[in-house]
Amino acid sequence: MLLKIRTVGDPVLRQVARSLSPEEIRSAEIQSLILHMRDTMRDTPGVGLAAPQIGESIQLTVIEDKAEYQKTLTEGELKERERVPVDFHVLFNPVIELLSPVEVSFFEGCLSIPGLMAKVPRTRSVRVTYLDEHADSHTIEAHGWYARILQHEIDHLSGTLYIDHMQSATFTTIEHHQRQIKNNKPS
């Protein structure tokens, strides 16, 4: 079942989401929600989806950056972004630690702000401690684009959107951005 994605202006996107207990995480209701969120994320397609984006103010996000999503990028762009495929996984109650200065800016979009994007400065490296779908504890050290995805999705759990961090002069429609890229590429 595909879920309705909430868009900017919906109050749920600005709330601090509540943590879940291990018992709640393992419940049939939450296990079903994980599958629906995965299907919704893949259908859009997106690389992450946080529970507030589907109207649930809980500390849950799903992430997956498939190789097929990266096919339109050149080898140089992949290297510049430090972007590699990331398998599907689930994070409950994530706690993020920034491991490097906020120094890297790339364009980001958001399923809750359709059709728009902007450059957002982020840190290159993070450490995230979280519970998985079995309520087992894990720690990830992520770099590059994966670190960016984690920061973006975990921001959602604290009621923060990329527009709160963006370089406002770069705010644009996806259409204008793609046209700009096309016009600036050598033939």
Mention every residue, 6+ apart, whose C-beta is less than 8 A from residue 118. 107, 108, 162, 163, 166, 167, 168, 170, 171, 172
Which residue among 56, 64, 108, 153 is the active-site one? 153
State the Cα angle at 36 between 33 and 38, rounded to 5°. 110
**Residue 80 a catalytic site member:** no
Contacts of 32 (CB under 8 A, 6+ apart): none
Interacting residues of 160 by C-beta distance below 8 A, sequence separation 6+: none
The answer for 113, left when phi > 0, alpha when psi is -120 to 50, beta otherwise, is: beta
Helix H or strand E segment including 89: strand 86-98
- Closest to 40 in 3D by CA, of 88, 3, 86, 90: 3
Phi, psi for 110 (deg, rounded to 5): -155, 135
Q: Which residues are catalytic?
A: 153
